[in-house]
Amino acid sequence: ILRRYQSNDARKRSLTIDGKSYPSDSWTNAPENILIQYGRRLHVQPNHPLSIARQLIESCFPGFQHHNSLPGVVTVDQNFDSLGFASDHPGRSKTDTYYLNQDTVLRTHTSAHEVDVFRANTSNGYTICGDVYRRDAIDRTHYPIFHQIEGALTWDRSAFKSSEHFSQHIQNDLARLGSAGVDVEDPNPTFHPERNPLQAKHHAAEEAEAIAAHLKRSLEHMAVAIFTAADKALKASDHAAQEEQEPLKIRWVEAFFPHTSPSWELEVWWRGDWLEVLGCGVIEQPLLIRADVPSRMGWAFGLGLERLAMLLFGIPDIRLFWSKDQRFLGQFDENKPIKRFQPFSKYPAAPRDVAFWIPDAGAAVVETPATTSSSPSPAGGQITAAPPPDTPSFHENDLMEVVRDTAGDSVEDVSLIDKFTHPKTGRQSLCYRITYRSLEKTLTTEEANDLHEQIRRELVARFGVELR
């Protein structure tokens, strides 16, 4: 890894990942601090909590084929186009997505493999688990790399005489599944002409209705399995034994995904809050047509593994999944019932604030010379209203990236604490609180100050902000 790091740094004209070289261009924005974590494959490490959570979910779908080794580097076509993402979909922006170059990204979701796996057509049902990458905020529940599990089930409609026979078949399967025995809130009709349309061009209402019911029932069973395990673990820990547990509650909320319609999100009532667990829906038929399986029809879902693992094990900070500390890793055993994580002592937090004026859009901004930047991309993303080409402007995710480049996992949280527009000049000032706290040691005052000073300097160098 170190060799790759150095050679990337030396050449900068291409990035090498898994022995493959990707020529850089104006889209390249994947920084070393991300690339260095590529290939850790936490979701298949023996006794890793993410792997235990994955196996628990896989066990809810017997007979499905489980894909756990599909590569995280995918084409823009796989990640967006093949799924029907509009050309102006915000997810495509450089502020949200890590590009190796204009044609290649670090996948932002496991859905990137849907068309390929449907095309291979080797099973009716499958799951895909893997690492996904998003430029995002820094706090205890967000990390730029997380893991998803995708699941899908399709049927071959051509095997049935009519759409009645087809939907009857699914109804029978549904009866076999039975009720998940949980309190479910599902107030919306299956279809809504604007918000959640039937794909009328491709599907009979009764077919989509049956598939939607099958989807919801299957995922309710999965949620019950997961939350029963979480509940058991909680009850088994003396620490929380006295707490009164509310019974499990699930609700279905209308949603939108380019690759499903109708679509929903499943939320679970967990310890006093609705928690979004997954997105899902009836697969867009054009996607199956693109995959050369036009006569198949079915459902798909995608869920975030960290979120579930955090609640299963009571893991308080998403950075812990990346820890190599035995005090963390030593607590999990895939051959034993799930047990609550026992936090080891927390080291003290060192909060530091940084306040700065954002450069006016279009103002002359100092561009970082490639030689002083450790990042393969000279400047971060830009989404302010139509800036002149190649003028770096400021996006919050740029700050997040500077923080990660500089301080890595020693930062627990970055929050906007003040925002101010100068009444005369109209210039905007932002103040962020960066909370430094290592999971592995106490940061000295000097260490925190040094990191903070480096971050301040990088903000000026890369984005031309004026420190206050």
Closest C-alpha among 447, 450, 356, 433 to residue 139: 433
Q: Closer CB to ligand FA5, residue 130 or residue 378?
A: 130
Smallest gap from residue 30 Cβ to ligand FA5 (A): 17
Smallest gap from residue 74 Cβ to ligand FA5 (A): 13
Peptide bond into 337 cis (omega under 30): no
Instruction: Give me the residues paired with residue 130 across strands.
Output: 148
Smallest gap from residue 298 Cβ to ligand FA5 (A): 11
| Number of residues that make up the chain | 468
96, 20 in Cβ contact below 8 A?
Answer: no
Q: Closer CB to ligand FA5, residue 106 or residue 280?
A: 280
d(CA 55, CA 63): 14
Smallest gap from residue 457 Cβ to ligand FA5 (A): 28
Helix (H) or strand (E) holding 32: helix 32-35
Q: Closer CB to ligand FA5, residue 354 or residue 411?
A: 411
Smallest gap from residue 396 Cβ to ligand FA5 (A): 14
Burial of 247 (0-12, 13-18, 19+ CB in 10 A): exposed
Q: Return all residues near 277 (Cβ < 8 A) that are at least 6 apart.
A: 223, 265, 266, 267, 268, 303, 304, 307, 308
Instruction: Give me the residues paired with residue 105 across strands.
Output: 74, 99
Smallest gap from residue 194 Cβ to ligand FA5 (A): 19
Smallest gap from residue 67 Cβ to ligand FA5 (A): 14
Q: Closer CB to ligand FA5, residue 268 or residue 443?
A: 268
Smallest gap from residue 274 Cβ to ligand FA5 (A): 12
Backbone angles phi, psi at 433, to 5 degrees: -100, 120
User: Would the CA dihedral through 152, 157, 160, 161 be positive or negative?
Assistant: positive
Q: Closer CB to ligand FA5, residue 28 or residue 110?
A: 110
Smallest gap from residue 176 Cβ to ligand FA5 (A): 23
Binding site for ligand FA5 (CB under 6 A): 109, 111, 134, 136, 142, 146, 148, 150, 257, 259-260, 276-281, 300-304, 306-307
Q: Closer CB to ligand FA5, residue 277 or residue 443?
A: 277
Q: Closer CB to ligand FA5, residue 4 or residue 40?
A: 40
Q: Name the pairing type of β-strands 73-75 and 14-17.
A: unpaired
Backbone angles phi, psi at 97, to 5 degrees: -125, 145
- Please tell me the chain's helix, strand, coil percentages from 3-state DSSP, rounded to the nearest 5: 35, 25, 40
Q: Closer CB to ligand FA5, residue 37 or residue 391?
A: 37
What's the longest Cα–Cα distance across the chain? 75
Chain residue whose CB lies nearest ligand FA5 = 304
DSSP-assigned letters across all residues of 190-228: S-BTTTB---TTT--HHHHHHHHHHHHHHHHHHHHHHHH
Q: Closer CB to ligand FA5, residue 209 or residue 458?
A: 209
